Homo-oligomer: A and B are copies of this chain.
Amino acid sequence: MLDARLVKKSHPEHRTIVQLSSQVAIGGNNVIVIGGPCTVESAEQMEQVASQLAVAPIHALRGGVYKPRTSPYSFQGMGVEGLKILAEARSRYGMPVVTEVMSIAQIEPVATYADMLQIGSRNMQNFELLKALGQAGKPVLLKRGLSATIEEFVMAAEYIMAHGNPNVVLCERGIRSFDTYTRNVLDLGAVVALRQLTHLPVIVDPSHAAGKRELVADLARAAVACGADGLIIECHPEPGKSVSDARQALSLEAMVELVHSLEPIARAVGRTLTKDQGAKTKQLAAV
């Protein structure tokens, strides 16, 4: 493995806990779940989402306001207006918020409104953006590139850390393959390897990996079983009407049902998956 000075473990039990809020931390014993729509579409949509997810063991909200779209003619996201909608949901339901940043100029507004800045797969090796995230002042959720090796992924995290930000969460979200039945191939071997090689939290996005909602729940369970520190899952009040990635979004009911099914798996691997993790993980962090 290349020169991953800051990202690699200094000893086998070395783990970093990334604090999203006073109540929510990633990387401790509690598995965390981030849920929400692919795209923030309206205040009503986020209100529906947040109100239903808040009562389940779901810890944070996701929702894109700056959207990387293959076509310049597709909807590019609500921008700052969407950030305000996210912030409103956050304050009403006490759930930290994660959203994507696509350029250096977007770091400041997103860092103002959100609790964690997501770097999408297409920007995993946007090195100037990675450098700027070093000074973002907020944790970064770094998604693996579509054909990034484990080494390249780790070194992208090293960029962020080397430029001053120690709070990086890695996210496996499926890699490109020859098969077209699933959208991508979820590489859980990489999740296991990353947790052995680095001290950073590793979460899994089964939604983008599968690309089909009927595959998401089983893959989410697999992710928890292999040791993932969390999940980020797309859900929508009316999945078929989602403005993007409609085929992979869960209904809010399916989302809540899925999360409850994860609890016994988490216990089976010596973890918890509860809502009230605050005290516990802060204790861990203090050790």
Contact = CB atoms under 8 A, between A and B. Distances in A.
Given A125-B68, A218-B227, A222-B223, A190 B182 contact: yes
A104 B105 contact: yes
Interface string A173-187: 011111111100111
A221 interface: yes
A153 to B, nearest CB: 9
Interface of A: 2-3, 5, 68-73, 102-106, 122-129, 131, 145-147, 149-152, 155, 158-159, 162-163, 174-182, 185-193, 196, 209-210, 214-215, 218-219, 221-227, 264-265, 267-269
Contacts of A192: 210, 215, 218-219
Among A106, A151, A174, A193, chain B packs the most CB atoms within 10 A around the CB of A193
Q: State the copy count for this chain.
A: 4
B162 A73 contact: yes
B222 A225 contact: yes
Contacts of A214: 196
A121 to B, nearest CB: 9
A190 to B, nearest CB: 7
A123 B209 CA distance: 21
Contacts of A268: 221, 264-265, 267-268
A182 to B, nearest CB: 4
Contacts of A68: 125, 127
A2 B70 contact: yes
Contacts of A174: 189
Contact of A178 (B72, B147, B158): B147
Contacts of A269: 221, 265
B127 A126 contact: no
A123 B145 CA distance: 11
A104 B102 contact: no
Contacts of A123: 125-126
A273 to B, nearest CB: 11
Nearest to A174: B189
A122 B126 contact: yes
A152 B70 contact: yes
30 contacts: A3-B71, A69-B127, A70-B125, A70-B152, A71-B155, A72-B127, A72-B155, A73-B162, A103-B129, A104-B105, A122-B145, A149-B179, A149-B180, A150-B179, A150-B181, A176-B176, A177-B178, A177-B187, A182-B190, A182-B193, A185-B189, A186-B188, A188-B188, A189-B215, A191-B218, A193-B215, A196-B214, A222-B222, A222-B225, A225-B265
